[in-house]
Every structure is written in structure tokens, then in C-alpha cells.
Amino acid sequence: MSIGAEVPRDRAKRLLLGRGRYVDDISLPRMLHLAFVRSPYAHARIEAVDCTDARALDGVVAVLTAAEIADAVASWRAEHKLFPAMAAPEQFALARDIVRWQGEAVAVVVADSRAVAEDGAELVAVTWHELVAVTDAKKALEREAPVLHDDMDSNLAFTTEVASGNTKAAFEKADHVVEEHFRFHRHSGVSLEPRGIIAEFEPSENRLTVHQSHQTPHQQQDLYARLLSLPEHKVRVICPDVGGAFGLKHHLMADELVACVAAKLLARPVKFIADRLESFLADIHCRDHEVTARMAFSPSGEILAVEVDDLFNAGAYGQYPRTSIAEGNQITRLTGAPYRHEHYTANLRMAFLNKSILGHIRSVGHPIACAVAERLVDMGAAKLGLDPIEVRRANYLHGDDFPRTSVGGVEFEYLSLRGCLDKALTMIDVPGFREEQANLRAKGIYRGLGVGTFVELTAIGPEYYGQGGQHISAQETCLLRLEASGDVRCYTGATDQGQGIDTGIQQVVSDTLGVPLAAIEVISGDSALCPVGGGSWGSRGAALAGEAALRAANTLRRNILSIAAGLLQKDVAALNIEDGTVVEAGISHMTVAEVARIGHFQPYAIPDGIPADLTVVERYATKDRLFLAGNGVQIATVEVDVDTGIVTPLRHLVVHDCGRILNPLLVREQVRGGVVQGIGSALYEELRYDDDGHLLTGSFADYLVPMAGEMPDIEVAHLENPTATSELGAKGAGEAGTAGAVSAILNAVNDAIAPLEATIAEVPVTPPRLLKALGQI
């Protein structure tokens, strides 16, 4: 049989040992599928798990419980050294004695198909002893409340205070104070593609290969190696194009870890795809905060002080490896961040509850911090009889205020707040809207306009996780390889979940090298092939991976020109690369492909002392900077049907400053997508539980997401103020739309119902809640 010849069908399952030689009766391992036995209770003791009937089912390969996998996988704790007082109870891949949230897995059935696995899961008999569930943070922190974890004295997971100035005195002296109690309900990321994993273990090599719908391949490689006691170089995680992630796919998920355990124990490939019910139950959740806040004003509308109290309804555990603290931390650090005031106090209490784990979803904490401050600004302006837009303008940080460390302890290089507002006001005729608004109110039609000013913390630096003790890379590395053909392979540690960072990096390399875009191939999402990087999360792709690519492209360009100068006996400073050709003053001398061919196959032709590496690696890691701060303004208009409580978004404007923009189209669509998610949070999306911790919104029939027909036109404009901390000058952009949308919608709704002397401070603003605020139910 010649090489490349088709294998006969009757020999398809034989093992080819050499040319023409086969060994019969050797079958390749077939894919196995998982179905989990999940707790129907939010809090219960596991008295017994009987797997007898499930194991007897035809097609079931194994049924695993905590006991069967105890020696195969380690437990973990969600610790963060920057928050040493934060509780971090021990977590297990499968629940051992007690389940602490509905949907927590207690066993897994491994079978030849998903259908058989699900049938087997139905046959697993678990004897439960239901315990009292704690589902509300206020009740969880009461002295007599049941304590979730045996190694804790209460359900208080963490408490902290951020303070600057003398807030108490400022409020006592203030002429005007406004106060509001806010409720932000729980929701999730709801990616188009659910979580999924295929794990394969090769015992002879002690090697685990994982294909996963995930954002951070190198993080997962590290976690799987440590938790499964494997050498890290024997673990490979491949994250191909991902159908949406939004933060819910950059954590360790216990069920995905179990898939790896099963593959290792059974030496068979294992596949798990979460169905939608599992997604709603077991995916990482977000928000779920109860905030009481107040703001002090002078008679002229100057903001004097801000006070915030955040009660954080966390899940049953901290999310691993990043912990769940970031949402509360961002709220306490960012509330009122756009404004110039010196007196600030923010308190945070984080409580463990019998609900799914809460972690980091797009724009962590930002929508809440923004909505709280922006609502208070509107309330203060109304109390003083001032224009809320002008109150914002007068209080914005600007000009000589920068660089600045905010009262929340965040460093701001520069914020273009007034510029964004001025640009936004050219896009909408506010006086015209007010005139139309008044005319429509006379006809019983209620429309409102809301403004939301936001600060977006992007591209987190290595200090946060590095000093926190997490194995999470906040640096980026890029490897460029000039092939003999003149084409370029670009290997990056970033990953693409549809945001287009591969395209952005491709543009950076193409523009810097001076070669056509089509000559660049970007390879990402593979922990074995790609250099170490953090993946994509926290609006970091362009700012960090883009900068690493720029540096690598500059190095490769210098080497190409140095080789060409040596071959041509020209001054390297006089040469340039244009459209894949080395030129001097517009005169073409040789192509990049010719330089590559000589560099690869005739290196002896290159004069000594000339840097001739055609494979280069460059790394970028920031120093002494925790975040890059972007900013922007959103303006929303809505119509409120006061008879039904339905809110209809009419128009939405965003002006955003994310530094230098690599691809305007991609950035605009990122912002639009973020706005849609923000509107979903403001009006539709909610994971509702009953008092016993049972999820009531476990399907798209109950959990509403925004649809295209319900969305307004979303108009996006940008200012560009590049950061001076990098050559590229890019900041993050991926979370801007989500950060400000809730505040703009909430303020617009309140503006619409203001003549009815009604207000609302609870999101999502559902029809029943709005009708209740209007006094109709």
C-alpha cells in the first residue's frame, strides 16, 4: 500500500504498523459521554448514593461518585492573598457529604452516548436529607441563621471598607443629600454556545489533551496539571473558536474537571456539553447585590461626598481560581469614579448563600457602580432643580485632575469625560427631545431620557493575580515566524471568542511588517503551541496581546531589513518594507520572500554580525499599573407603557474612549453587543429563586434575553486618547457597552415616570416591578 492510499473499509479499524502491515482486532477508543446527577435541593445531606441500577444499564461504562474519584483529583480553595481575611471553604469536583446549591453534582454517569448516560443518571438513587436553605444575604448574616460551612462561624465570607476623606463630616455639613436603596438581581452570561469539553488521556504517555470552549488555555493547563497531579508539559488545552464566553468561560468548572478525571480513569475520550438547564443551574452567575447609597451636594450642585453600602449575595463558594470578590471590590472602588469629590466611604459585606457560585461576567461590578452613582446624580439634580447633564459636566474629572488616584484607590492616567459628553450631545437633540416629551405626556405617552457616565477598568496588570497567589498570567507573549515563502505565522497567548482579537493582531503585524494582511496567519488558543498568555478576559486583548504583537513585528522587521541591507550593501536606515517588498526611496530591491528564502536556506550569504533570526519572540507585561482606564457616556431614550409596565428602548447612544482603535468596525460591534447585554440586565434577564433555593427560571421560556426586534438602534462613536503606557496606545473595549447601559436605561425609565411621582431602583425593570412602583399593583 502506497503512502496516502485509501484504507479499505474492512480494514478501517485495524492498526497500521508499517507499510502494508496491520494488526487485527485493535479498535480505536470510542468517545464516551457524561451526564451528571445533580442535587434537586439547595441544601441537603447526602445519606446514600446507590448506583447499582445505573451500572447495570447497557451502554453505561462507569458511574463515579466522590468516593471513586477521591484519589484521582485534588480539592481546592478560592483564596486570594490580597484579601487574606476572605473565607475560602474547601471545594470538591463532586459533592461529598453535603450539597450547598441546587444543581451541584453528586455523581456522573459515563456511557457510550449522551442519551444512555442521561438514562443512567435517572437510575442513580440518592437518599437526601433536606436542610434549611439560606437564600438571602440579610437573613444569612443573622445570628441564628444556619451556617453553610462547618469551618466557619457565620456566613460572612468577607467584609471591607474603602474610605477617603471625612465622609461623616461632609454629610453633616451638606445642604442637600439624596439617598436610594438599589437591588440588582442575579443573571448569567448566556453564551450562544454552552460550555463544552472533550478530554482524552493517553496512559502510555501520561498525557491529557483537552479541547474546551474556554477563554484561558494556559490557565486551564495549569489547573488540570495541579489538580490531577500531572506534569504540566503533559497537559495540553486547546480552545478553538468559541461561540461566546463573556467571562463565564474563564473559570474552573467542577463538571468540566470531572470530564478530565473520567478520561484519565477510563483511558477513553470523554465529552460533556452542558444543556441549557445545566447552564442556568451550574454556570457562573453574576451581580446579585443590594446597595444602599447616598450623595451629598452643595447648593450649586457640587458633589461633596458619596457613601455606599454593598450587601453581596454570593454563591455557596468562592469561584476558582479568581475568587468571587471582584464584583464587590469593583463596586466599592468605582462608584462615583467619574466625579471630583474628596470624601468617600464604601462598605462591603459578602455572604455565602445556597445558590450557584457567583463569579466574573462581562464588566465585573461596573454596571452596578455606574448605575448607583448615575441615579444619585439625577436625583440630586432633580432635588436642586438643575439640569442633570450640566451637573455631570460641572463635576467631571478633567484637565489638571490627571494623573489621579481616585478616592476609591484606582489610578487614572486620563479620562476624556467632557469630550465624550460633548460628542454625545452632538448626536442627539436633547432640547428637541424635551419638547417632544412634554407634548407626548399631554397625550398620556411617557418617554424618558437617561445618561450614564462610566469608567471602564481594562487590561488588568500582573500585580492583582500575581500578588494574589493565583496562577493567572497577566502578561502576553507573541511569537512570529517568517516562513521561507514570505508568509508569517503569528502565535499569540490571547484567544478569540468572537470579539475579533485574532483579526486585530493580524492587522498589527501586517501594518508593522509592511506585508499584506493575507500573508499573516494568527494561531491562538493552544497551550502547547502558543506562548504563555492570559487568554481573553477583562478587555485585555488589544492592550496586552496587541502590544506584544507590535513588539514582535518590530523586531522581525528590523531583522528582515538588516539582512536585506547586508545583502544589498545598503544603509538599513534607508530601507523600508512596503507591500511585502524591501524598498528604498520608492525603488524596489527584493521581496520579503527572497529575504526569507536566503535566511532559511542560504544563511552563509548573510554578512557576519547581522541579526538574522526569522523567528522572534516578544513579551509585554505592564509594571506599576493595575488597570488601564477607559471611559465613556451612554444616552438612552425609552417609552414606558404605564398601563402594562412594558419598557420599550427607542434609541441608545455610546461615545467611548478606548485609546487607539485597531479595527473600528470590530470595536463598534463589541460595544453594541455589550449594550445589548446591558439592556438585557436592565430590563429582562433574571435568575429567580424561591425561598428554598430552587431555580424558577431554568429555560428560555422563563429567562428572558433581549431579541433583535426589541433592541433600539445603537449608535457608537469614539474618541481616541492613546495610553502612554504602551507604544500601541490601545486600552480595552469589550465591556464598555455593558458598563453604562444599565444606568442609562434606569435613568431613562425614571425620567419617563417622574411626572407620576414614581421611582424605581430595582433591575431588571420588569412590568410587575414597574407597575408596583407606579402604585397599580
Last residue in a domain, options 620, 654, 688: 620
Report the CATH number that the domain containing residue 63 is assigned in CATH.
3.90.1170.50
pTM equals: 0.94
Q: Is the dihedral of CA 431, 435, 441, 446 positive or negative?
A: negative
> Could you report how far apart the first and last alpha carbons of the chain are, in Å?
80
Closest C-alpha among 664, 561, 669 to residue 614: 561
Report the CATH number that the domain containing residue 589 is assigned in CATH.
3.30.365.10
Contact criterion met (CB below 8 Å) for 353 and 315? yes
Q: Look up residue 447 and give its three cell numbers.
A: 418617554
Grid cell 467542577 is found at: 254
* The pLDDT value given to residue 463: 82
Helix %, strand %, coil % of the chain (to 5) = 30, 30, 40
| 641 and 577 in a common domain | no
| 564 and 546 in a common domain | yes
| 548 and 446 in a common domain | no
| 539 and 501 in a common domain | yes
Q: How far apart are CA 490 and CA 503, in angstroms?
A: 11
In a domain, 140, yes or no: no
Q: Look up residue 27 and give its three cell numbers.
A: 479498535
**pLDDT for 132-157, tens place per residue?**
999 999 999 999 999 999 999 999 99
In a domain, 344, yes or no: no
| 484 and 379 in a common domain | no
* The pLDDT value given to residue 27: 58
| 642 and 515 in a common domain | no
Number of domains in the chain: 3
For 637, the domain range is 363-458+628-773
Last residue in a domain, options 598, 620, 642: 620
Contact criterion met (CB below 8 Å) for 489 and 502? no
- What H or E segment, with its residue span, contains residue 106? strand 105-111
| 668 and 604 in a common domain | no
Contact criterion met (CB below 8 Å) for 26 and 111? no
Q: How far apart are CA 131 and CA 365, in angstroms?
A: 32
Contact criterion met (CB below 8 Å) for 754 and 383? no
Q: How far is CA 703 from CA 227, 681, 688, in A?
A: 34, 11, 9
* The pLDDT value given to residue 1: 32
| 639 and 612 in a common domain | no
**pLDDT for 674-730, tens place per residue?**
999 999 999 999 999 999 999 999 999 999 999 999 999 999 999 999 999 999 999
b vs e for 748-769, b when ≥16 Cβ sit within 10 Å of the residue's Cβ? Answer: bbbbbbeeeebebbbbbbbeeb
Contact criterion met (CB below 8 Å) for 270 and 308? no
| 676 and 595 in a common domain | no
In a domain, 485, yes or no: yes
- Mean pLDDT, consecutive 10-residue segments, the chain of 777 residues? 38 37 55 98 98 98 98 97 96 98 98 98 98 97 97 97 98 97 97 96 98 97 98 97 91 98 98 96 96 98 98 97 95 98 98 96 97 98 98 97 96 97 98 98 97 96 88 93 98 93 97 98 97 92 96 98 96 97 96 97 95 96 86 98 98 98 95 97 98 96 94 97 96 95 98 98 98 94
Contact criterion met (CB below 8 Å) for 275 and 194? yes
In a domain, 318, yes or no: no
In a domain, 605, yes or no: yes
Q: How far apart are CA 388 and CA 380, in angstroms?
A: 8
| 441 and 392 in a common domain | yes
Grid cell 454593598 is found at: 310
| 228 and 86 in a common domain | yes
In a domain, 260, yes or no: yes
In a domain, 328, yes or no: no
Q: Supply φ then ψ for residue 22, to 5 degrees.
A: -130, 155
In a domain, 274, yes or no: yes
| 213 and 79 in a common domain | yes
Contact criterion met (CB below 8 Å) for 672 and 653? no
Q: How far apart are CA 499 and CA 504, in angstroms?
A: 9
Last residue in a domain, options 620, 649, 670: 620
Contact criterion met (CB below 8 Å) for 208 and 235? yes
Contact criterion met (CB below 8 Å) for 314 and 351? yes
